[in-house]
Structure 1
Amino acid sequence: MTTPHPRPPAEDRTAPIVVGVDGSDHGEAAVRWAARNAAATACPLHLVHALDLAAGTAFGPFDLYVPPVTATLRTRGAAVLDSARRIAAEVDPRVPVEIELTEEVPAAALIARSAHARMTVLGAEGHGGTLRHLGSTLLAVTAHGHGVVTVVRSIDPLDPPVGPVVVGVDGSAFGQAAVEVAFTEASRRGAALVAVHCWTDLRFERLAGLLDVVDEDPEVEAAAAAALAEQLDGWPEKFPDVPVRTQVYRHGPAHHLVEWSRTAQLVVAGSRGRGGFHGLLLGSTSNALVQHAFCPVMIVHPR
């Protein structure tokens, strides 16, 4: 019998895909990716640019109230949103687009809007394999956001994308929610699904000399295969159009999922896994994928 698990939000075509935009190249890549997905799912796009006026980091506390300063920031913010709206229209002019200029802190604005979003999308600076800087907004939203948070690399994703959808399966409630999202995405994309399971959460790079396969130990191999089958139970029947491949390793979920991201069009993972302690909002595997994956990454938070 499978264990009941928190489910991601039911599909709601009225819920928008929310995108944080900042005028950067990686932000524009996120807008393009989100617009393609909005077109494919017939849902609206909500572009958000947060001015962070309350921070007062770019000017003194009294300058905040000087009209030319705040007016300039709002003018620049409006230009960023107009540019993002044009990019979305270039992808598909039929997608309804709403823009929002807010004075809130960027992370707080996106976390709040993620509670009612179909998905929240952010761009990541870096070209696959590493981020130049794990920004505070990116870290906060992936850790504290609601539902599905997707991180898109600054390289513009292929259109149409190629490769399978890869999902990390660990038996946790968060991992189970990720499985549902992964099957849904694979079906929508007409892609195969690769379910990756690691018998332990030990880090691969710290296990030099130890075997990373399970077929050398029949008992471990059988137990791992049974655990994976239980975690996938029922989903292939719900999505008969999705070819499913399973891959079991002994160690290193972060390492193996990052390696799979080299050839995947999308990697899906729970926000934290079986090893996360109470209160941990972003697990080590999810954190590694956000920083090092070569393709877009969906981090799934059960609502």
Structure 2
Amino acid sequence: MNSASGAAVVVGVDGSGPALAAVRLAAAEAARRHRPLRVIHAFIWPLLHSPIRPATDGGLRGQAEQLVADAVDEAETIAPGLRVTGEIIDGEPAALLLDQAPGAELIVIGDRGLGGFTALVVGSVAVKLAAYADCPVLVARGAQQPDGPVVVGVDGSELSRHAVDFAVRTAAHRGAEVIALHAYRHPVSTGPGDMQPLVYDESQLRAEEDRTVAESIAGLTERYPQTPITRRSVRGRAAKVLTDASAQAQLLVLGGQGRGELTGLLLGSVSQSLLHHSHCPVAVVRPPRGADGGVGDGPGG
């Protein structure tokens, strides 16, 4: 997260219903963080090099100006007194928003836009931002449970703490509880024909997994004494465990790449699954540029 003074929350809009939901979510988040809100629309028409551009461009730009104005009005209704600006920038949506990421506090986007195929559960812009953005990305989807916890997926990787830290700070802004949730599937096979132990100590196994969660939140209780943090280890597939937990949550926080992921993957399989299936908004937190490893989102995630 960009800690520079005045760094804005940025929200991408395209006139769609999901984009309007993103505006509402972004306005509330910017107000909690005492940050300005920038409403941005990517105006792609100039990139198409159409021979009818002079006759059509003005009308399309006028429509773009109106949808931005409507989004600004909506944000000001949600958070009176919030500093809100609206901009129309020529460019492709994903590329434009990625350019904004290094200087942003947070980017907020709807799960699908006007250009998405109706069969797609989550749009390509949201996926690209979650995979590549140099700041946390908040995807508006599902329904928030106002009194629910902020749930964060934990896998014990070194950089898993980026997601946990974001979750705890966000919960502190919201006055919410944090549930640090770790899914495990031990004992597991290490290869074809590998023999599984017939007897193992379930209590010892659970204690080991609980230590993974404890290590991930170490020090945060002292830094945020007013924010309750509950540790929870659950046997099961990470994607399913987190999807189930999201039904009662106000926010689900994930790392961009989990423990056990191939290093070439910029967005882990668990994160991708939750972008498609979470019942509440999802924040994806990637490690700072140049950091080694991946932010945890569940074993094998």
TM-score (norm 1): 0.83
Task: String of CA shifts for 1:221-240, please: whole Å, max 9, x gaps.
Answer: 12112222112211111111
CA contact 1:124–1:154 (8 Å) conserved in 2: no
Please state whether the residue corresponding to 1:279 is helix, strand or coil: coil
Distance 1:42 1:247, change over 3 A: same
TM superposition shift of 1:134: 2.4
1:118 aligned residue: 105
Distance in structure 2 (CA, Å) of the matches to 1:260 and 1:197: 11
- In structure 1, what is the Cα distance between the partners aligned to 2:204 and 2:119? 39
Task: Describe the superposition over 1:242-287 as per-residue Cα deviations: whole angstroms up to 9, x where unpaired.
Answer: 1122111233111111111100011111111112211211111111
Q: CA deviation at 1:202?
A: 11
Distance 1:221 1:202 in 2: 11
1:199-237 superposed Cα distances (whole Å, 9 cap, x missing partner): 24999xxxxxxxxxxx96133112112222112211111
Query: Distance between the aligned counterparts of 1:202 and 1:14, measured in 2?
Result: 48
Structure 1 residues 157-181: Cα deviation after superposition (integer angstroms, max 9, x where no partner): 46xx221110101122442100101
Relative to structure 1, is the Cα distance of residues 31 and 110 closer, same or farther in structure 2, using a 3 angstrom cutoff?
same
- For the Cα contact (< 8 Å) 2:213–2:232, is it kept in 1? no
1:197 maps to 182
Give the aligned partner of residue 45 of structure 1. 37
- Is 1:277 paired with 2:262? yes
Number of residue equivalences: 273
Q: Distance in 2 between matches of 1:252 and 1:34?
A: 31
Q: Does 1:255 align with 2:243?
A: no
Q: Is the 8 A contact 1:13 1:42 kept in 2?
A: no
Which stretch of the first structure deviates more once superposed, 275-284 or 106-115?
275-284
8 A contact 2:101–2:133 mirrored in 1: yes
Aligned to 2:129: 141
RMSD of aligned alpha carbons: 2.4
In structure 2, do the counterparts of structure 1 residues 62 and 120 end up closer, same or farther at CA, with 3 Å as the change threshold? closer
- For the Cα contact (< 8 Å) 1:271–1:282, is it kept in 2? yes
8 Å Cα contact 1:202/1:252 also seen in 2: no
Q: Which residue of 1 aligns with 2:296?
A: none
Mapping of residues 229-268 of structure 1, within 5 Å:
229-268=214-253
- Contact 1:201 1:253 (8 Å CA) reproduced: no
What TM-score, normalized to structure 2?
0.84
Q: Secondary structure at the match of 1:86?
A: helix
- 1:26 is the counterpart of 2:18: yes
CA distance in 1 between counterparts of 2:221 and 2:39 reads 35
For residues 216 and 52 of structure 1, the distance between their equivalents in structure 2, rounded to whole angstroms, comes to: 59
Written as runs of structure 1 = structure 2, the 5 A alignment for 1:1-20 is 8-9=1-2, 11-20=3-12
Structure-2 separation of matches of 1:195 and 1:252: 16
2:67 is equivalent to residue 75 of structure 1: no
Paired-residue identity, %: 35
Distance 2:216 2:11 in 1: 31
Aligned pair in 2 of structure 1 residues 131, 281: CA closer, same or farther (>3 Å)? farther
8 Å contact from structure 1 (residues 53, 105) kept in 2: no
**Could you say if the C-alpha distance between residues 200 and 274 of structure 1 is closer, same or farther in structure 2, counting changes exceeding 3 Å?**
farther
- Amino acid across the alignment from 1:264: A
Query: Is contact 2:11–2:39 with CA below 8 Å preserved after alignment?
Result: yes
1:290 equivalent among 261, 275, 292: 275
Work out the CA distance in 1 between the residues paired with 2:212 and 2:181: 12
Give runs of aligned pairs for residues 153-192 of structure 1, distance below 5 A. 153=141, 157=144, 161-192=146-177
Output one character per residue of 1:64-115: Cα deviation in whole Å (capped at 9) or x when no partner. Answer: 6x31122222111111101101101111231111211111100000111011
